[in-house]
Amino acid sequence: MDKKNELITLLKENQVVKYGKFTLSSGRESSYYVDMKRAITDPIILNKIAELITELIADDKIDKVAGPALGAIPIVTAVSLESSIPMLMIRKSKKDYGTSELIEGDLEDEDIVVVVEDVTTTGNSLIKAIQAVSSNGGLVKRAFVVVDREEGAIENLKNEGIELEPLVTVKDFM
């Protein structure tokens, strides 16, 4: 079994997709919910995700791996450990105490950055993360999501000039 199918099996076994009536972060209602927090707190699933992303970026010259808080941070950490690429954590907004940074980690001008996310619907949080990296001097070359709900994220990121590469889609579960 290839690593993608191993990941799908692990996600199914851990009941990451739940069925019922759910309100998404966009405010829209859905008949299913992708509970990625359940997945990213499981070390076996997290390791499989890190292996997959690390393989996909192995031939690239990546300086940093980044992701938005909260859901992507365990993934970013796992990929950083697996690939030995330093990581960046992107806050939803600047904090008004301490260093007041939007991005935690050492982002230098023209660093080539891969941005990852746990799950996407429209891709808005991923777009904001990419814009944060770009506006702070980083060059986002690739973006990955563990599960794409296939509700516009790929198209919305394409409009931003970034190809979103899902590890799996909801169709893989249906």
Could you tell me which residues are annotated as the binding site for orotate? 121, 149
Q: Which residues participate in the annotated binding site for 5-phospho-alpha-D-ribose 1-diphosphate? A: 91-92, 95, 117-125
What's the Cα-to-Cα distance from 87 to each of 4, 72, 90, 137, rounded to whole Å? Answer: 23, 11, 10, 15
The rounded distance, in Å, linking the Cα atoms of 122 and 125 is 8
- Relative to beta strand 29-34, strand 17-23 is antiparallel
Tally of CB atoms within 10 A around 167 = 21
Sign of CA dihedral 168, 129, 122, 75: positive
φ and ψ at 128, to 5 degrees? -60, -40
The structure tokens listed for 53 are 């992303």
Q: Which residues participate in the annotated binding site? A: 91-92, 95, 117-125, 149
